[in-house]
Structure 1
Amino acid sequence: MGSVGLLYVGAVLFVNGLLLLGVVDGRAAAPINLFVGGLQVVTPTYLIIAADGDARAISLAAGLYLFGFTYLWVGVNALTGWPQAGLGWFSLFVALCAVGFAVHSVVGLGDRTFGAIWLFWSFLWLLFFLVLGLGIDRLARFTGWVTLVEAFGTAAVPGFLLITGVWTDSTALALSYLAVGVLLFGGLWLAAGRRPTSSSSPHPA
């Protein structure tokens, strides 16, 4: 994923985490979803055209559509009030694709840390499926906190470090990501996951 786009993925995840927690409403969150969703559709289209058949460049760009379509869908649903079930089932598709991108990141691209990050994105979209596709509203608060954590840990901070040229990949960093993530999300589940959500119609990030 492009470093600039990744930074703004962090922005939209941050806003949508607040949406799931009931801090902002859907209409307030719609603009950032539409802005970033549009960015994450236009950008990979340009990159794929410019790749001129380069399989590596195409694979790096292809995953952006998963984010772009999700955010556009969130924005449209927020403005129209359309049912969330379709978006929830699309999130299951995204979660499965993200596992494939995680494997490809490690095996095909040699990027171990982003392999771990793709797994966290898969987990996040799986939560969206459970909340929106299956209607398990009691997971909405937990999903909101996971979204906030991933806004910074998997998007904004890596994006900023990539932009500034500080980011480095290593097996140790990838394993640290996984270990910290499991512990942190486990703690969040104990603290927030068992509480019922106060929102009757949660939206994903």
Structure 2
Amino acid sequence: MGAIGLLFSGAALFLNSLMLLGKAEEKSVAFFNILVGALQVVTPVYLIMISDQSNWSMFNNGAVFLFGFTYLYLGATILKGFDSSGLGWYSLWVAMMALVYAAVYYIQENDVLNTFIWVMWAFLWFLFYLSSALKKPYEAYIGKVAFVQSWVTLTLPSLFMLLDLWQIEKLQQIWIYVCAASCFYFAVTAVLFFRTQQKEEVLQEEIA
């Protein structure tokens, strides 16, 4: 995915995280999702048209559609008031595709950093599946995961790319540790979140 596409994906995910955390109004965020989604559907079509049409070019450019259709689907779901189950099942499918991308980057390219990032994206899409398709009340937790990922996997890497720093080996090594620290944060936050939920359920049972 190009640096500009990553940058605006970071912006969209940042706004979505604030929406999930109750700090941004849904419809205003949905409109931005539509804008970014449209950009990330038109752009890969153009890139595919001017590419060498090889399988690897198709594979790389096709990844942008995963993001583009997610943002378009989310924006339309909110603006039109659709049930979110379709979006949730689509998110599960994208989570599985993200794992395929992770495996290819690891096996074919031996690219640990991109493998790590794709696994993190797969985890986030899986959380959207749990929330949207299975109606799990995990918005507060998903908002925190999305907030961190908007910066760690999208916004900052895209800025490094634009500044021609992303290819520096030392920076990539550091970023692997940043991703690992982020995953540790996700795990700790998950434990605290579910413990709080259990306590609230016990209190509700006692009151009832």
Q: TM-score, normalised by structure 2?
A: 0.87
Q: What is the identity percentage for the equivalent residue pairs of Structure 1 and Structure 2?
A: 35
Aligned to 2:200: none
The answer on 1:187 being equivalent to 2:188 is yes
- Please identify, of 123-132 and 168-177, the stretch whose mean Cα deviation from structure 2 is larger: 168-177
User: Secondary structure at 2:24's aligned position in 1?
Assistant: coil
Correspondence for 1:117: 117
Residues 124-203 of structure 1: pairs in structure 2 closer than 5 A: 124-137=124-137, 139-168=138-167, 172-173=173-174, 175-195=176-196
Give 3-state SS (helix, strand or coil) of 1:63's partner.
Answer: helix
Quote the Cα distance in structure 2 between the aligned partners of 1:191 and 1:120: 20
Amino acid in structure 2 at the alignment position of 1:152: W
Number of paired residues?
Answer: 195
- Give the alignment of 1:28-67 within 5 angstroms: 28-67=28-67
Q: Indicate the structure whose relative CO is greater, using CA pairs within 8 Å and at least 6 residues apart.
A: 1
CA contact (8 A) 2:87 2:132 kept: yes
Distance change in 2, residues 1:15/1:195 (3 Å) = farther
Q: Which residue of 2 aligns with 1:200?
A: none
Larger Rg computed on CA atoms: 2
The aligned counterpart of 1:85 is 85
List runs of 5+ in structure 2 lacking aligned partners.
Answer: 198-208
2:26 paired with 1:26 = yes
Q: 1:48-82, CA deviations, whole angstroms, 9 ceiling, x for partnerless residues?
A: 11113122222111111111001001111111101
- Give the superposition deviation at 1:177: 4.2
1:134-172 per-position Cα deviation (integer Å, ceiling 9, x unaligned): 1111x1110010000000000000010011101136584
Structure 1 unaligned residues grouped into runs of 5+: 197-205
1:159 partner amino acid: S
Query: How many Å apart are 1:192 and its aligned residue?
Result: 3.7
Q: Please report how far the alpha carbon of residue 110 of structure 1 lies from its aligned counterpart in structure 2 after TM superposition.
A: 4.0
